[in-house]
Amino acid sequence: MRMEQTISTSKSPFATEPIGRLIVKFAVPCVISLLVNSLYNIVDQIFIGWGVGYLGNGATNAVFPITIVALALCLMIGDGGAAYLSLKLGEGDIASAKRGVGNAIVMVVVVSIVLAAVFLIFIDPILTLFGATDTLREYALQYGTIIGVGLPFMMIPGAVNSMIRADGSPKYAMLSMALGAVVNTILDPVFIFVFHMGVRGAAIATVIGQVATFIMAVTYLFRFKTFRIDRTAFRMKAKTCTTVLSLGVSSFITQFAITIVMALTNNLLVSYGALSIYGSEIPMTATGIVMKVNQILISILVGIAVGTQPIIGFNYGAKDFTRVKKALDIALVASEIIAIIAFLIFQFAPMSVVSLFGSEEGLYNEFAVKAFRIFLMLCPLTGFQTVVAVYLQAVGKPLKSAILSLARQIIFFVPAAVLLPKFLGVVGVLWTGPVADGLAFLLSVGLLIYERKQLKEIERAE
């Protein structure tokens, strides 16, 4: 049986197809899937901006961090399960691969239900923590309550889709996400403009879209290509769960740190904004838009990296290091091209983006343009760091991957966010972006140089 598994593994497309073609095959659907996930919030913001106004968008910014927490947890489990699946398939260990998927599914179901319950019970203090002012609170409660109920329908398919991609069906994962986005986009204007339900209508549309994605993702569980899932896969093993979580911890840190960053940034913007000509709500709302637009860029970069992850993980497990290095190099080049294009838009045409989110004027537009140009000044460096972090995760080095992710979002960002506004006021909050991006880039370069040397040493020893 072991010999049959090894033989079938050696014939895997991960081992035989051209790397460039494989990356296109896996990264493009992954990018689209993650973009669709980001667009849930962006679409809501656009319709709310036109139907309710910037205060409605400010309220959704206060709710947004809890969805990032949910995404962080589901990616930790889903990306960890996907990395585990790829590594075990590369080793020819089908039984372990199946158990990893089953254990990951059980974990995400339990975690999603617990998170939804905690958020709904403590929704008011949580919204305060994330920067909801008295002016924004009623909108935030209307939107947040419904989003909280839908958290399991967001998290479960989010985790399952990562493993669907690793199983060799990236298009299916993409279509399941696209279905939800299409449903959300159709229903948003209906609930907001036809039924006049405001932010509550936007939230209902989002959850209905997530339910559609949930149905498609769960259906795939009975159609895995590499094995047939059964009840034995769902028997929890402490070692398997620990390994899955450790492989996904970098994804968790990357996303969860965004929550810390947003909570800190929202509160600083409200505090220092009140001392400026912009007031409290304008800086928080405008910067929230910038962060969500930046999430689109991050989704593309992570999609390229995560789409490359099963290729790197499989070939690393199979000890084909030439293919590992080639996949890494192609991912780095592709991510930098995308990041530079985004940089040009943010620097030279920011109003084309700002105007999508409603018809505002004066101080709001002034601060929004300033936020795009300053906060995202070094976004081209983000692509390099993102690919390196996912590469480390793919080759089974989650600690280094976690350190790199943590450095940008917490170690470099938080001190800058605390110090710079003391000297530059509310604009100082914006300068934390390029400071953190620049320092994280230097760290990622150092880690990659070290890992490439280690890879050469392993090759010599083989």
Contact (Cβ atoms closer than 8 angstroms) between residue 394 and residue 318? no
| Residue with token string 């537009």 | 365
Q: If pLDDT is split at 50, 70 and 90, which confidence band does 275 have?
A: very high
Alpha-carbon span 201 to 446, nearest angstrom: 48
SS3 8: helix
Tell me what pLDDT residue 87 has.
Answer: 85
Q: For 278-286, what is the mean pLDDT?
A: 88
Window from 11-20, 21-30, 308-317, 411-420 with minimum mean pLDDT: 11-20
Q: If pLDDT is split at 50, 70 and 90, which confidence band does 280 have?
A: confident
Torsion of Cα atoms, 18 then 24 then 27 then 32, to 10°: -160
Q: Quick one: which of 380, 397, 382 has its CA closest to 258? A: 382
Q: What is the CA radius of gyration of the chain?
A: 22
Predicted confidence (pLDDT) at residue 453 exceeds the cutoff of 50: yes
Q: For 140-161, what is the mean pLDDT?
A: 96
Q: Side-chain half-sphere of 247: how many Cα atoms within 13 Å?
A: 28
Q: Greater confidence, 220 or 1? A: 220
Tell me what pLDDT residue 359 has.
Answer: 64
Tally of domains in the chain: 1
Q: Greater confidence, 280 or 203? A: 203
Q: For 199-222, what is the mean pLDDT?
A: 94
Tell me what pLDDT residue 462 has.
Answer: 67
Read off the pLDDT of residues 59-100 as tens digits, 9 standing for 90 and up: 888 888 898 899 889 989 999 999 899 889 888 889 999 999
SS3 251: helix
Q: If pLDDT is split at 50, 70 and 90, which confidence band does 314 have?
A: confident
Cα-to-chain-centroid distance, residue 110 = 20
Q: Quick one: which of 66, 152, 147 has its CA closest to 105? A: 152
Instruction: Classify the C-alpha dihedral 15-19-24-27 as positive or negative.
Output: positive
Tell me what pLDDT residue 332 has.
Answer: 94
Torsion of Cα atoms, 417 then 423 then 427 then 431, to 10°: -50
Contact (Cβ atoms closer than 8 angstroms) between residue 289 and residue 57? yes
Tell me what pLDDT residue 1 has.
Answer: 38
Contact (Cβ atoms closer than 8 angstroms) between residue 34 and residue 179? no
Tell me what pLDDT residue 339 has.
Answer: 95
Tell me what pLDDT residue 6 has.
Answer: 42
Residue 248's domain comprises 2-461
Q: If pLDDT is split at 50, 70 and 90, which confidence band does 2 have?
A: very low
Residue 413 Cα distances to 327, 357, 375, 431, angstroms: 30, 27, 12, 10
pTM of the model: 0.72
* pLDDT above 90: percentage of residues in the chain: 48
